[in-house]
Every structure is written in C-alpha cells, then in structure tokens.
Amino acid sequence: MEGLPQLVLSLVLGVSLAAACGLRVFMPLLVTGLLAHFGLGGVVLREGLGWMGSTPALIAFGLATALEVAAYKVPLLDHLLDTLAVPLATVAGTLVAASAFVELPPLVAWSVALVAGGGLAGALSAGTAATRVASTTTTAGLGNPLFALVETVGSVLLSLLAWLVPLMALVMAISLVLLMRRWLRSLRRG
C-alpha cells in the first residue's frame, strides 16, 4: 500500500500533462523537458524518456512551441494547424503521460498513456479546433487570436501545475473537459 499514493500521483500527473497537450501540443513537452533538465520541481522521468530533458530535445521542443504559438495568431494558418494538431496532440499526450508514469510497469504505462493520455489530448485538441471554427464563424476570425492566447496560457499553467500541484492540475483538467463538453453541446443545439 505504500506505493499507492505515489502511483496515483503519477497517474494524475500524466493525465494532467496530457490534457495540456490538448491545448498546445508542444508546450507540456517543453515544460517537462525544462524541469527535468534543470532538476526543478522534483521532476523524475520514466526510464528511457530522460532524453526529453536533453539540450537537443529542448531546442526542438522550444522551436516547435514557438512555431505553434505563432501560427495560431495567423488567420487560416490556425485552421490548417488544427488539422495537424489533433493527431500530434494524441502522440504528444501519450509521450508526456508515459514519461510521468514512473511507478507503472512498461506495458501498463504505455497502455494507460495511449488510452488516457493520448485519448484525452486528442479529444481536447479536437474540442479546441471546434471552438476555433465557431469563433471564426461568429467573429469572422477576429476572436481566434484571443482563443489562441487563452489556450497557450492554459497549457503553460496546466503543465506547471501538473508538476508542482498535481491535484490542482487534475481539477483544472477535469473542469476543462466539462467546460469544453458543455460548450460543444450548446453549439450543437444551436
């Protein structure tokens, strides 16, 4: 029973990081890599995924994050990026969740990461894409940069909270899912 709280914490951390990938694909990878690289926040990555804190990975994550954040500020390019973001978020959510599942055996860790992490990240990314379409329709695209800013800030905040205050991050991730679900239902109605 001693390892149970650590196991639960590991699962909460991984799922919260995956949710952040649903908002911005590369931001949680960058935050996780930076924390691991500098040894901040007690970040320990799953064996075999320590490369996420390496200098080449940080450069790649940093460039990808900068390009992603900038692309969401450009009308039409934001919609093109949304078509790529859903599958990329699924992969990133799986990877970052698995990196946090240090307490699980490899088969279980990767299975849970794929289903819970990748599934959640992909679903949230699809939800943000739908939000952007609705924003474009209702504001002629003028509201899209504001939505993009909120998504970016949300991803940074959720990524940091996941590592520093995991239970608060889980509450934020669940709230985000419920809010997105409610908003998408209201769009369908009308």
Give tens-digit pLDDT for 5-25.
888 999 999 999 999 999 999
Q: Is the pLDDT of residue 138 over 90?
A: no
Instruction: Go through the chain and tell me how many residues it has.
Output: 190
Residue 90's pLDDT band, with cuts at 50, 70 and 90, is: very high
Cα 89 from Cα 71, distance rounded (Å): 16
| Amino acid letter for position 155 | S
Is the whole model's pTM more than 0.75, yes or no?
yes
Sort 120 into a burial class: Cβ within 10 Å, 0-12 / 13-18 / 19+. Answer: buried
Residue 190's pLDDT band, with cuts at 50, 70 and 90, is: low
Instruction: Determine contact, residues 11/101, Cβ cutoff 8 Å.
Output: yes
Q: Is the pLDDT of residue 163 over 90?
A: yes
Q: Which residue has the tokens 């954040």?
A: 69
